[in-house]
Amino acid sequence: MKITNKYVVEVIVFFSYVLFAMAWVGGTASMQSIMQSLDVHSLASASFISGAVTLAKIVGTFIAAWIAIKLGIKYAFFVSSLLITIGILTPYAPNYELLLLSRFLMGLGGAFMVVYFNPIVLQFFKAEERSTINGINAVAFNIGTAIILWEMDTFNQLTGSWQNSLVLFSVISLAVAFLWLLVKFEEPEKPTGDDVAPVDYSYREGLKDRFNWLYGLAYSGILAFYICLFTFYPKAGIVQSKWVIGFGIVGTIFGIIYSKKIPLRLPVIRWSGLVVVISTAIFSFSDLYWLQTFAAMVLGFFIFLPVTALVSIPHELPKMTSARITIVFSMFYSISYIISTFILWVFGALVDINQGDYTWSFILIIALSSTLFIGSYFLPETGNKNEAQAEGS
């Protein structure tokens, strides 16, 4: 039996990443219990796990295109799915080293997978469908995260323990991985003609492509804030992260609807970016709990409202091929994660230098959250301008 229906293919892809998020965030939520079971009490050891995970994301997103070139998209996605299931070792790791390895390999699988979304969408869906599918894929991690943040205790009660819950997530991921092998995925034929990109679009070509750098830099500030939100903001006494996640899902849904009705990409990116800067400032500095909560809701909504438009831009560029789009998103996430990792270090260093005062760290992250707004003035408008004018007349 071969799976040929594109919507079934999308369901497999979508739930593969939802399950990754559930296993990933579930492991993070259980990390204190995991460390206690290994009799590891060092904060340095715990932070080293986070650092290894970040390294996996940087390395994984960068080499994802190389793996796809060697194996083809179908089997590259399968490899990413198998790596994710290594999370099954996390709850029962007999030592710290195996725990570290399991988290690293699992993070590597997630990093691969998020890159492979795009050539799969390019292969199975028509141009007019891609913005919707891109938006759906963009919300997968948030949905998995939200399920864990709100329902992890319920899962633990149903399965009997947090260990059983993490194993369950990995077992289901493995089943979905083998289901993916049934997908009939034909690697695209090598295109010819003047209206297509070079077939041998490589990392060398990608590194020379100005768009790739602008694209990654535009997103980097938002990603840096998002990582700091869950890493440092709770330590600063700001605990409304759940609202950012929840309203991020709502924002993504509205973003999908918006992108279907409004063909232009840059306006929603630009003005959402501006709202993000303002709401980040309120969220970071307000002393009123209700105002911080409201700002968290606004942040979640407007961080994710433009995501559908943002990830659709490469799909709508002229001369786009499966090889090129894989490298575009490989660089997109690598650049974003490298910058975010550096900013995360600077954020923490500023807190230390100022004896625990977060003021300058918050100012830094507010300034960096403007990259989406600024980037919108440098990214190309790939939406159909004639269609937009017709709708406006």
At 210 the three-state DSSP class reads helix
Please give the distance of CA 370 from its chain centroid, rounded to a whole number: 19
Distance between CA 272 and CA 251 in Å, rounded?
10
Token pair of 36 as six digits:
């206690």
Please name the amino acid found at residue 205.
E
Does position 141 have pLDDT exceeding 50, yes or no?
yes
How far CA 273 is from CA of 2, 192, 263, 303, in Å, comes to 43, 38, 18, 7
- Please check whether residue 217 is in contact with residue 335, taking contact to mean a CB–CB distance below 8 angstroms: yes
Please name the amino acid found at residue 303.
I
Distance between CA 154 and CA 210 in Å, rounded?
48
DSSP alpha helix (H) spans, the chain = 6-29, 31-37, 43-71, 73-85, 96-124, 127-138, 140-159, 162-180, 203-208, 210-231, 241-261, 266-285, 289-304, 307-316, 322-353, 359-368, 371-375, 385-392
- Please check whether residue 292 is in contact with residue 240, taking contact to mean a CB–CB distance below 8 angstroms: yes
The conformation of residue 92, written as its DSSP 8-state character, comes to G
Residue 387 confidence class, pLDDT cut points 50, 70, 90 = low
pLDDT digits (tens, 9 = 90+) for 90-122: 888 888 788 888 888 988 999 999 999 999 999
- Once rounded to an integer, what is the mean pLDDT over residues 156-180? 93
Nearest-CA neighbor of 373 among 270, 268, 298? Answer: 270
Question: What pLDDT does residue 47 have?
Answer: 55
* 143 vs 42: which has the higher pLDDT: 143
- Please check whether residue 366 is in contact with residue 277, taking contact to mean a CB–CB distance below 8 angstroms: yes
Q: List the beta bridge partners of residue 374.
A: none
- Interior angle at CA 76, CA 72 and CA 77, nearest 5: 120
Burial of 323 from C-beta contacts in 10 A (0-12 / 13-18 / 19+): buried
Token pair of 49 as six digits:
């796990």
Phi/psi of residue 318, each to 5°? -65, 155
Residue with tokens 């690293």, as numbered in its chain: 104
* 23 vs 199: which has the higher pLDDT: 23
Name the least confident of 286-290, 370-374, 387-391. Answer: 387-391
Instruction: Give pTM, 2 decimals.
Output: 0.83
pLDDT digits (tens, 9 = 90+) for 204-226: 888 999 999 999 999 999 988 98
- For the chain, what's the residue count? 393
Nearest-CA neighbor of 75 among 5, 190, 180, 175? Answer: 180
321: left (phi over 0), alpha (psi -120 to 50) or beta: beta
Question: What pLDDT does residue 199 have?
Answer: 54
Does position 125 have pLDDT exceeding 50, yes or no?
yes
**CA dihedral in degrees (123, 129, 135, 141; nearest 10)?**
-40
- Please check whether residue 239 is in contact with residue 355, taking contact to mean a CB–CB distance below 8 angstroms: no
- Out of 3.40.640.10, 1.10.1060.10, 1.10.3720.10, 1.20.1250.20, the CATH code matching 194-383 is 1.20.1250.20
How is domain 1-185 classified at the CATH fold level?
Growth Hormone; Chain: A; (1.20.1250)
CATH 1.20.1250.20 domain position(s) in the chain:
1-185, 194-383
- Please check whether residue 357 is in contact with residue 236, taking contact to mean a CB–CB distance below 8 angstroms: no
Token pair of 315 as six digits:
């799909």
At 347 the three-state DSSP class reads helix
Distance between CA 38 and CA 94 in Å, rounded?
7
Question: What pLDDT does residue 11 have?
Answer: 96
